[in-house]
């Protein structure tokens, strides 16, 4: 299962990025919105790595391609991308990660964070989300959202241990 959560170290990153941008454009069209140039550049900066980036790391990456954007501009783009399920916030790192798995937003997403290489894998499971939601509701709690982050070693780092 981990092999599917993390991209292979030698995967075709150009194809991965192109597919994610095409998916983002499709999602925006479906919602009657646009993937504006700044939104696309923020997404591309996150797609350049499979590691979470902080907002100021994104700003630094963008500053190499365009005039340095204001933090509020980047945060607004991130809010938009998160709302569309195109970017995830990694709470424990106060950082952001491009979503390259096109999963149902009702699914619970668990983030597998490699403590050695820093890459983050995603596991999305609607059944687990339903089970947790049902358990919470059974004690009178109405969940709004949940974040599951699991730290450890990815298969690539574990195999090279």
- Would you give the end-to-end CA distance of the chain in angstroms? 19
Strands 148-152 and 87-90: unpaired
| CA 86 to chain CA mean position, Å | 7
Q: What is the pLDDT of residue 1?
A: 37
The DSSP H or E segment spanning 59 is helix 55-63
Is residue 126 over pLDDT 80? Answer: no
Task: Give the residue with greater pLDDT, 104 vs 97.
Answer: 97
Q: How confident is the model at residue 123 (pLDDT cuts 50, 70, 90)?
A: confident
Measure the CA–CA gap between 47 and 41, rounded to whole angstroms: 10
pLDDT in tens, 61-70: 999 999 999 9
More confident residue, 129 or 24: 24
Contact assessment for residue 121 and residue 6, using Cβ atoms and an 8 Å cutoff: yes
Residue 146 above 80 pLDDT?
A: no
Note the pLDDT tens digit of each residue in 36-73: 999 999 999 999 987 899 999 999 999 999 999 999 99
Beta strands in the chain (DSSP E): 87-90, 95-98, 108-114, 120-125, 148-152
Which of the two residues, 22 and 146, has the higher pLDDT score?
22
- What global pTM score does this model have? 0.84
Q: Are 148 and 109 in contact (CB under 8 A)?
A: yes
Domains of the chain: 2-98 (1.10.10.10), 108-159 (3.30.1490.190)
Residue range 101-116: average pLDDT?
A: 77
Check residue 160 and give its pLDDT: 82
Asked if pLDDT for residue 3 goes beyond 80, the answer is no
């Amino acid at each position: 299962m981990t092999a599917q959560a993390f991209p292979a170290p030698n995967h075709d990153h150009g194809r991965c990025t192109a597919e994610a941008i095409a998916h983002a454009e499709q999602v925006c069209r479906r919602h009657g919105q646009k993937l504006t140039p700044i939104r696309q550049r923020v997404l591309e900066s996150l797609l350049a790595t499979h590691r979470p980036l902080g907002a100021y790391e994104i700003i630094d990456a963008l500053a190499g391609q365009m005039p340095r954007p204001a933090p509020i501009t980047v945060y607004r783009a991130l809010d938009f991308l998160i709302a569309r399920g195109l970017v995830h916030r990694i709470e424990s790192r106060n950082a952001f990660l491009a979503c390259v798995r096109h999963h149902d937003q009702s699914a619970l997403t668990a983030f597998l964070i490699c403590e050695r290489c820093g890459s983050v894998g995603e596991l999305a499971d609607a059944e687990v989300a339903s089970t947790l939601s049902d358990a919470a509701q059974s004690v009178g709690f109405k969940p709004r959202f949940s974040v599951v982050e699991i730290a450890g070693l990815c298969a690539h780092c574990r195999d090279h241990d």
